[in-house]
Amino acid sequence: MKREIITTGDGSTTIHMPEWNEQYHSKHGAIQEARHVFIEMGLKKILERDNCKEISILEIGFGTGLNAMVTWEAVEAKEIFINYTGVEAYPVAVEEVIQLNFAEEIKLENSKDIFNKLHESSWEEANKICENLTLTKQQKFFHQIEDVETYDLIYFDAFGARVQPDLWTVEIFEKMFKATKQDGVLVTYAAKGSVRRAMLEVGFKVERLQGPPGKREMLRATKV
């Protein structure tokens, strides 16, 4: 399948697949979408908790590493430790990674170094990216996840249900529910009724929230 690097509305890049008319991030702005969906509506919800010092995060679709980058950006100056797990069946190729401009657009002092470490770190083991971020990348399909009450927060960033409906089923969200700790949270850019119903069916409490630029709504699910 053809893949090409495009520039999105906020100046950050993403990978576009013309055959699907689908991209890894919003064409309205890759970085602003990641910050809104996963940080503002997800990570900050967890950080509001009393005595929050360590957070375990599962990302469904590690992809370009952008969500890990904005997570680092959000906690870089805080005394918070992030144990980050990224699951990806088809890792992004090196020649694509080097064309992405997230480090330049985020503009923190160590952005380039952190971005490189995220992609150069080995798979299937924990890698210390910096003092407050450890990354474990797992190459497997989402239906192979068998974690139980492991994560405080899940970033559900799979390709859309329009092109990959099998990633948005009751069976997949049942695995997400099991993997989440009590009071844990799952956030996704998606807002389809079928996705919301699948989340509700497995036991999540689901909220419709304001979406990122270019999208009216998104979903946040809590294990209660």
pLDDT one-digit tens code per residue, 27-49 = 999 999 999 999 999 999 999 99
Lay out the sheet containing 126-130: strands in order across.
126-130, 133-138, 81-87, 54-60, 151-156, 180-188, 217-223, 204-210
pLDDT band for position 149 (cuts 50, 70, 90) = very high
Strand 133-138 versus strand 81-87 pairing type: parallel
**pTM of the prediction?**
0.97
Strand 81-87 versus strand 180-188 pairing type: unpaired
Q: What SS3 class is residue 49?
A: coil
Per residue in 178-188, pLDDT tens?
999 999 999 99
Strand 151-156 versus strand 54-60 pairing type: parallel
CA pair distance 25, 186, nearest whole angstrom:
18
Strand 180-188 versus strand 217-223 pairing type: antiparallel
List all residues 6 or more positions away from 4 whose beta carbon is below 8 Å from its beta carbon: 15, 16, 18
> DSSP letter at 54?
E
Mean pLDDT calculated for residue range 89-108: 96
Buried (b) or exposed (e) across 23-61, using 16+ Cβ within 10 A? bbbbeebbbbbbbbbbbbbbbebbeeeeeeeebbbbbbb
Strand 4-7 versus strand 217-223 pairing type: unpaired
Q: Which of 4-13, 45-54, 182-191 has the lowest mean pLDDT?
A: 45-54
Arithmetic mean of pLDDT over the chain: 97
7 backbone dihedrals φ, ψ, rounded to 5°: -100, 130
Q: How many residues does the chain have?
A: 224
